Amino acid sequence: MSDHQHLPLYIKIYQFIKFLYEMVRNFPKQYKYALGQNILDLPWRCMDLVLESNALSNQEKYPKILELSIVFDKLKMRLRMAQELNLRPPLN
């Protein structure tokens, strides 16, 4: 397995997770522990899948990448719901 800290996708997901923690921290209590926790769990699953697929041979990567795509689609749906509920991070 290569050093994952040099993988561009790993770096972007890591930065995205940090952003999401800040975003969810500002959610109202009624959303923080359900929708917010789900929003935080899904990118961690994406990170796990990136690391797992990186450890596989090219022929074995497809199922992990397909699962990553599905998990990311789930995350997009939760983020869309948060946006429609006006659960946006404060503008700095």
**Consecutive 10-residue runs of the chain (92 residues): their mean pLDDT?**
70 96 93 96 97 92 96 97 84 56
The answer to whether residue 33 is domain-embedded is yes
- Full domain range(s) for residue 68: 4-84
The answer to whether residue 80 is domain-embedded is yes
Q: Closest Cα to residue 67, out of 53, 77, 81, 79?
A: 53
Cα separation of 46 and 54, whole Å?
A: 12
The answer to whether residue 92 is domain-embedded is no
Number of domain units in the chain: 1
pTM comes to: 0.85
